[in-house]
C-alpha cells in the first residue's frame, strides 16, 4: 500500500491526451501521464494574472489596506492553482509569460507500472475521478500456504524461495 498511487482529477475537465494509454505501461517519477483541459483552470489562471497585474500597478497613494488585500488575493490565487495540481514551476511560468496554460499535465508521483487505467481520451472527469493507479512493483508481498507439518521449520524473517506457474522454472 505504501508503494501505490492513485491519480485523480483535482479539477473538472476533459482528458485530451493520455500518455500511459494501457494497463501495464511502465512510468517514471515525474513522467507525463495525461493532459486535461479545464475552463475553470484557465479562469483561475486568468484570475492570477489579473491579480498580478493589479499588484504591479498599485501605487503608493493607495491605502495600505488595498495593497494588503491585493497581496492576499495574489497568494490565494497561487494556492488555488497549487491545490489544483499545478507545480510551483508551472505557476512561475504562468506569471513570467503572462499567459494561461490551456492544459494541465498530470505527472506520475512514483516509478512503477500502471496497474489500472480508469479513463480514455475525451472523457469528461469531475473532481476526484480516478484516472490511473500506479504501483511500484520493485518489492512485493507474497501470500504462501504451508502444510501444518512444515510450520515448525518456518521462522519470521527467514529467506524463502518459491516458484510460480506463470514463470515455470524461475525461482524467486
Kindly report, residue by residue over 2-15, the tens digit of the pLDDT.
899 999 999 999 99
pLDDT of residue 85: 83
pLDDT digits (tens, 9 = 90+) for 61-83: 567 777 788 888 999 999 999 99
pLDDT digits (tens, 9 = 90+) for 87-109: 898 899 999 999 998 898 889 99
d(CA 109, CA 20): 14
Tell me what the mean pLDDT of segment 135-142 comes to: 88
Using DSSP, state whether 130 is helix, strand or coil. strand
d(CA 24, CA 119): 14
Rg (C-alpha) for the chain, rounded Å, is 24
By residue count, the chain amounts to 172
Asked if residue 59 has pLDDT above 80, the reply is no
For β-strands 112-117 and 4-8, DSSP reports them as unpaired
| pLDDT class of 140 with cuts at 50, 70, 90 | confident
HSE at residue 22, side-chain half, CA atoms within 13 A, is 1
Using DSSP, state whether 158 is helix, strand or coil. coil
d(CA 42, CA 14): 13
pLDDT of residue 58: 59
The model's pTM = 0.72
Amino acid at each position: 500500500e505504501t508503494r501505490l498511487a492513485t491519480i485523480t482529477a483535482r479539477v473538472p475537465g476533459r482528458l485530451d491526451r493520455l500518455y500511459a494509454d494501457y494497463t501495464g505501461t511502465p512510468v517514471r517519477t515525474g513522467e507525463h501521464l495525461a493532459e486535461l483541459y479545464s475552463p475553470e483552470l484557465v479562469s483561475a489562471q486568468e484570475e492570477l494574472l489579473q491579480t498580478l497585474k493589479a499588484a504591479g500597478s498599485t501605487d503608493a497613494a493607495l491605502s495600505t489596506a488595498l495593497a494588503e488585500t491585493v497581496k492576499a488575493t495574489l497568494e490565494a490565487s497561487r494556492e488555488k492553482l497549487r491545490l489544483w495540481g499545478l507545480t510551483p514551476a508551472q505557476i512561475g511560468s504562468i506569471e513570467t509569460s503572462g499567459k494561461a496554460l490551456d492544459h494541465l499535465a498530470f505527472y506520475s508521483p512514483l516509478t512503477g507500472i500502471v496497474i489500472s487505467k480508469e479513463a480514455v481520451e475525451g472523457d469528461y472527469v469531475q473532481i476526484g475521478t480516478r484516472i490511473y493507479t500506479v504501483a511500484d512493483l520493485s518489492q512485493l508481498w507474497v501470500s504462501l500456504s504451508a502444510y501444518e507439518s512444515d510450520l515448525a521449520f518456518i521462522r519470521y524473517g527467514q529467506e524463502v524461495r518459491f516458484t510460480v506457474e506463470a514463470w515455470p522454472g524461475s525461482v524467486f
